[in-house]
Amino acid sequence: MTSNNLISREIQLASRPSGEPVAANFRLAEAKVPEPAEGQVLVRNTWMSVDPYMRGRMDDAPSMILPPFEIGAPLEGSAIGEVVASRSADVPVGALVSHFLGWRDHAVLDAAGAAVIDTSLVPAQSYLGPLGPTGLTAYAAVTDVAPVREGDVVYVSAAAGAVGSVAGQLARTLGAARVIGSAGGPAKAGLLVDRFGFDAALDHRAGPITAQLAEAAPDGIDVYIDNVGGDHLEAAIGAMRVGGRAALVGAVSGYNATAPVPGPSNLFTVVERQLTLRGMQVSAYFHLFPEFIGRAAGWLADRSLRTEETVVDGLDQAPAALIGVLRGANTGKMLVRLP
């Protein structure tokens, strides 16, 4: 197979959303796929990742680490695919690779941007979830950004999500005495306890999170893994013990906001209780991927790390998947399977 005259479907940004994205902000288009140049590979994508952070790239926001998506150009994101043409000795035809050019059926990229994956122990799509950037995010959060220590009480928001579900389980592995998670709705809250082994689950749709957290952690918390921001961050700060640590990983509650969202009104507690709030970008931890994948593949294989996936079929469904992940429609990792 050659890429000559190959046409690939792709999801382009049609317009920038105001508030919640709508279908009209995306366009399914076709584009001619170039021939791979020397050192490049042609990949047929089989899975792509859909992540809340992508909402930020739909805005024209110059402060992002990753640049804004461009109107009329395809979106980007983590993906898995099979190499169908190669001009690189390192990445042969037939290899399964993870890379960053999702949102399209076929991609041409430099071989250096394609990591060959090992599916002998785990399914390929694990490299988008627990073994991918979301898993590494959770790992960095609980080991470096807000390190969990033996005996800690840990609270994780969006704990049924791809990052939160892994973070809570890793916190336990690191010796947390009690792990509390929050999620939206009784089904997800139940999953936290039954499948992911959390000690307590809060359903933020059932009432104010502050009161629920106070009940679940009457003596306070030491570590907070924040995927939500807003009320959850305020509740966590209010529940922190002296020396507490928060990893600010994401703030999905504010991604669709059309006006600035005020921060927590209890920030002085950060002074009083000597708290640390630390933001993170997973790209700062990519050098840990080999170490992390080695450890986490073992945890997945022996079932000590449990995961969930929400799978949507077909590239044309990817925009709805992104709109959904921002509403919490997913349990665990939101994935699009490409035929």
Of 217-236, which residues contact a second copy (CB under 8 A)?
229, 233
Cross-strand pairs, 44: 82, 106
Closest Cα partner for 126 from 162, 172, 83?
162
Cross-strand pairs, 309: 333
Which CB sits closer to a second copy, 33 or 141? 141
211 lines the binding site for a second copy (CB under 8 A): no
Question: Residue 193 CB, nearest distance to a second copy (Å)?
Answer: 28
Question: Residue 163 CB, nearest distance to a second copy (Å)?
Answer: 12
Residue 316 one-letter amino acid? D
The helix or strand, by DSSP H or E, that contains position 326, with its residue range, turns out to be: helix 318-327
Query: How many chain residues touch a second copy (CB under 8 A)?
Result: 35
277 lines the binding site for a second copy (CB under 8 A): yes
1 lines the binding site for a second copy (CB under 8 A): no
Question: Residue 249 CB, nearest distance to a second copy (Å)?
Answer: 7
| Token reading at 108 | 């041409």
Q: What is the distance between the alpha carbons of residues 147 and 338, in angstroms, rounded to a whole number? A: 37
| Token reading at 232 | 């959850």
Which CB sits closer to a second copy, 76 or 105? 76
Residue 185: phi, psi to the nearest 5? Answer: 100, 155
Q: What is the distance between the alpha carbons of residues 166 and 134, in angstroms, rounded to a whole number? A: 8
Which CB sits closer to a second copy, 206 or 284? 284
Which CB sits closer to a second copy, 235 or 275? 275
| Contact between residue 21 and residue 60 where contact means Cβ atoms under 8 Å apart | no
Of 244-273, which residues contact a second copy (CB under 8 A)?
248-251, 254, 260-273
Q: What is the distance between the alpha carbons of residues 317 and 322, in angstroms, rounded to a whole number? A: 9
Question: Residue 313 CB, nearest distance to a second copy (Å)?
Answer: 32
Of 75-134, which residues contact a second copy (CB under 8 A)?
none
Binding residues for a second copy, rule: CB under 8 A, are 56, 63-65, 229, 233, 242, 248-251, 254, 260-281, 284
